[in-house]
Amino acid sequence: MQPVSRQPEVARRAACPENALTAWQIARTAAERPELATRDCLPVRAKEVLSVLPDKTKSYTAAEIVRMVEAEFGQRVLRMTAPGGPRRASYRAYLPDRSIIVTHRPDFRRNRREAEVLGELGPDCDRMPRLLGARDGLMFQSDMGEVRLSQRIQTATDAQRLALAQEAVAAILAIQAAGRNSALMRSLPRLGSDPGWIESLVAGPRRLAAMAHLPPPAMDLAALVARLDVPARNFLKWDCRAGNAALDDQGRIGWFDFEYSGLRHGAEDLAWLIADETWPIAAPAMFEIVGRLHDPFDAESRDDYLDYLAFYTGLHAVQRLLLVITQAQRRGWAPTARILSRDQVGVRPQMGCRLCQVALDCIARAPLLEPMRPTIEGTLAQFEAVIAHPIA
């Protein structure tokens, strides 16, 4: 249960109209609900929740979700919002003394995966949400904070940005360490072993060249596939974009959204952050931070770890470029404020430039990626041309 001293702050947030959903406003004829007795938000283990998470997905109205939250926590819901927009799977419910996150993913398997991870690691790792319970397919977890890391870092000074980057990397490594020492290493699936996923990753540079109307790069596909064949030796959160981290009232960074967690090398989580198009920290600074904070936990040396990180990050940056270009072609460029507030793909030419710069830095560190240099340089030139000569 969060300290009582936070009650005025929670009440202020509940009264704020920002990010509110009009259709989700909770009208009541009685202002008080004395029959609802407060229940402490104590963390629970996964086995207590998995038994009540069904193997199918059921749709609920807003009123039904509110009633289930109130029944689970014994408090009235003051207000509910959808931080990522009404089509996302998570909602923030404001109770009188705290806010909680209500998750209702359309794929029940993702709900169960996240419950398993949070239930196993959450009680012992303060860098991720605590699992608070479940009811009829809804999962409840603690709120890591309302300010996304992707938003906070935009307004920070250069020194503050580096401090935030270090804190974010430290949080990822702490979560991975907790996962490595848990039973999840025996129960979670290996990620990145599907042939289709590997094929898509190594074919990314050729697809990018085709999209940009550039000559195809002469990549050694067999060597790329072989380099991706790494042991599943580490816990992965997956999708470590800055929009999936938040700062609490004390400014401490925590990560959320663990529905895709699994096992792989470990550097992939950091690649998601380094090659996040909204992330303003240059790749060389990020590699320096990772090299300084990473503590090798097996026979792989720090240099070997960083070599694989650069290789994978370069390929991942290409995947993000493909996503940015595809969405720009379909919908046009998006406003930065909306990208950050809704945690959307960074469909901005400036963000495309940033991904190209990340990829070029990785190429300099990973010789296997050198053949795609002309593709990245050509793509960068096209983004720069858009910035220099925007279409009215």
Of 51 and 225, more confident: 225
The set of residues, in sequence order, having a beta carbon less than 8 Å from that of 83 and lying 6+ positions away, is: 19, 90, 91, 92, 146, 343
CATH number of 149-388: 3.90.1200.10
What residue ranges do the domains of the chain occupy? 4-143, 149-388
pTM value is 0.86
Question: Looking at residues 71-80, what average pLDDT do you find?
Answer: 95
Cα–Cα nearest to 174, from 127, 117, 233:
127
The set of residues, in sequence order, having a beta carbon less than 8 Å from that of 18 and lying 6+ positions away, is: none
For the stretch 137-149, pLDDT in tens is 889 999 999 999 9
C-alpha distances (whole Å) from 55 to each of 107, 137, 140, 143, 229 are 9, 9, 17, 25, 33
Asked if 231 and 265 count as a contact pair (C-beta separation under 8 A), the reply is yes
What's the number of CA atoms in the CB half-sphere (13 Å) around residue 175? 33
Question: Looking at residues 282-307, what average pLDDT do you find?
Answer: 93
**Which of 104-108, 150-154, 308-312, 362-366 is predicted least confidently?**
104-108
Specify the pLDDT at position 62.
83
Instruction: Judge whether residue 254 has pLDDT over 90.
Output: yes
Q: CA-CA distance, 80 to 142, in Å (whole number)?
A: 15
What's the number of CA atoms in the CB half-sphere (13 Å) around residue 147? 14
Q: CA-CA distance, 283 to 274, in Å (whole number)?
A: 6
Q: CA-CA distance, 274 to 169, in Å (whole number)?
A: 10
Q: CA-CA distance, 347 to 89, in Å (whole number)?
A: 22
Cα–Cα nearest to 142, from 26, 249, 31, 33:
249
For the stretch 1-27, pLDDT in tens is 333 333 434 434 443 333 333 323 333
Residue 241 in tokens: 């974009």
3-class state of residue 61 by DSSP: coil
Instruction: Judge whether residue 40 has pLDDT over 60.
Output: no
